[in-house]
Amino acid sequence: MKTLLPTSTAGSLPKPSWLAQPETLWSPWKLQGDELADGKQDALRLSLQQQQLAGIDIVSDGEQTRQHFVTTFIEHLNGVDFNQRKTVRIRNRYDASVPTVVGPVSRPKPVFVEDAKFLRTQTSQPIKWALPGPMTMIDTLYDDHYKSREQLAWEFAKILNQEAKDLEAAGVDIIQFDEPAFNVFFDEVNEWGIKCLERAIEGLKCETAVHICYGYGIKANTDWKKTLGSEWRQYEAVFPKLQQSNIDIISLECHNSHVPLELLELIRGKKVMVGAIDVATDTIETPEEVAATLRKALQYVDADKLYPCTNCGMAPLSRDVATGKLNALAAGAEIVRNELLAR
Ligand SMILES: [Zn+2]
């Protein structure tokens, strides 16, 4: 990126109310068949325009074509039975009824590639595309086939690598893997989680990112956050190995969180997408608040490696709040950009 402090979002943005129920996760589609396919494309256009009007530099599809950031990808794979459901604990936090892995997993055809091609035709700006990470995928399934978290993650890493290569060929500039599970299963992350991620990006020439957050602003997550104490040092457990990894960019929750920003020193040298927008509140940040978070991060991240971003996806927010937050992000980045250029 030639732009200093290029802005982007972690991924998801609210959907229009004619496509899916707003402010709801896993919201069912309101359209069907061809109408749904057209509706998703129109929503993608609107989402792109929302980012462009705010002045976001690296744009995304706003995840308008998926119901959920993990499930929608898995729905397109073989080997997972969505009718056979078991209750498991997600990220050690809340119980959910999840599909069962019943046989070898594989990707019969590309999942998001047509969507990515469509987005590519709509803009010449850099595009970031989000995929679920292998460890987060296994955490939303009951495995009755491999019976090994590591082996299943490894199989998903191979599938994600196929999808990532197709997305790269479709013109995606940055492929991001969402790994909130990296904030929970520290031993596994260090033993094989990061290796699986490196398998997922094998052979890619485009840039790669991993997004590690404290989750959407839903109740299960905000309740969990209350148990974490005044200082959130989870990142400390995985940063040293991530710093050594082949991943180019690390996307983190920084604003309003209790993450001590000096932990960013542990990934010095990596590009960092600094979350400067809190997605767990409807209060819209002022540009000055965004700028303050970015200035703090600049103590530990070199200016040419700092990418202002949101803490997480904004799918559960209202469109007005999300628009306000996008505007604040762009305006806050502009303040700090001007300060840096004036030096
Ligand atoms: Zn997130």
CATH code of 274's domain = 3.20.20.210
User: Model confidence over 254-281: pLDDT tens digits?
Assistant: 998 888 999 999 999 999 999 999 999 9
Domain that holds residue 197: 33-342
With respect to residue 103, please indicate whether it lies within any of the assigned structural domains: yes
pLDDT value of residue 172: 98
pLDDT value of residue 133: 98
State the distance from the centre of ligand 1 to the C-alpha of 178, rounded, in angstroms.
7
pLDDT value of residue 1: 65
With beta carbons less than 8 A apart as the criterion, state whether 306 and 291 touch: no
* Mean predicted confidence (pLDDT) in 38-50: 98
State the distance from the centre of ligand 1 to the C-alpha of 12, rounded, in angstroms.
9
Residues facing residue 106 across a β-bridge: 78
Q: Which amino acid is at 136?
A: T
End-to-end distance of the chain based on CA atoms, in angstroms?
20
Count of domains for the chain: 1
State the distance from the centre of ligand 1 to the C-alpha of 237, rounded, in angstroms.
18
State the distance from the centre of ligand 1 to the C-alpha of 142, rounded, in angstroms.
22
State the distance from the centre of ligand 1 to the C-alpha of 62, rounded, in angstroms.
13
pLDDT value of residue 313: 95
State the distance from the centre of ligand 1 to the C-alpha of 162, rounded, in angstroms.
23
pLDDT value of residue 88: 87
With respect to residue 55, please indicate whether it lies within any of the assigned structural domains: yes
State the distance from the centre of ligand 1 to the C-alpha of 180, rounded, in angstroms.
6
With respect to residue 3, please indicate whether it lies within any of the assigned structural domains: no
With respect to residue 100, please indicate whether it lies within any of the assigned structural domains: yes
State the distance from the centre of ligand 1 to the C-alpha of 28, rounded, in angstroms.
21
Residues whose CB is under 5 A from ligand 1 (ion)? Answer: 213, 312
State the distance from the centre of ligand 1 to the C-alpha of 342, rounded, in angstroms.
33
pLDDT value of residue 249: 98
User: Model confidence over 48-80: pLDDT tens digits?
Assistant: 999 999 999 999 999 999 998 899 999 999 999
User: Which of 53-67, 219-233, 239-253, 296-310 has the lowest average pLDDT?
Assistant: 219-233
With respect to residue 10, please indicate whether it lies within any of the assigned structural domains: no
State the distance from the centre of ligand 1 to the C-alpha of 67, rounded, in angstroms.
15
With respect to residue 97, please indicate whether it lies within any of the assigned structural domains: yes
With respect to residue 12, please indicate whether it lies within any of the assigned structural domains: no
Q: Mean of the per-residue pLDDT values for the chain?
A: 95
Q: Pull the structure tokens for residue 108.
A: 């019969």
User: Model confidence over 93-122: pLDDT tens digits?
Assistant: 788 889 999 999 999 999 999 999 999 999
With beta carbons less than 8 A apart as the criterion, state whether 106 and 76 touch: no
State the distance from the centre of ligand 1 to the C-alpha of 343, rounded, in angstroms.
34
62: buried, middle or exposed (CB in 10 Å: 19+, 13-18, 0-12)?
Answer: buried
With respect to residue 80, please indicate whether it lies within any of the assigned structural domains: yes
State the distance from the centre of ligand 1 to the C-alpha of 275, rounded, in angstroms.
10
State the distance from the centre of ligand 1 to the C-alpha of 34, rounded, in angstroms.
31
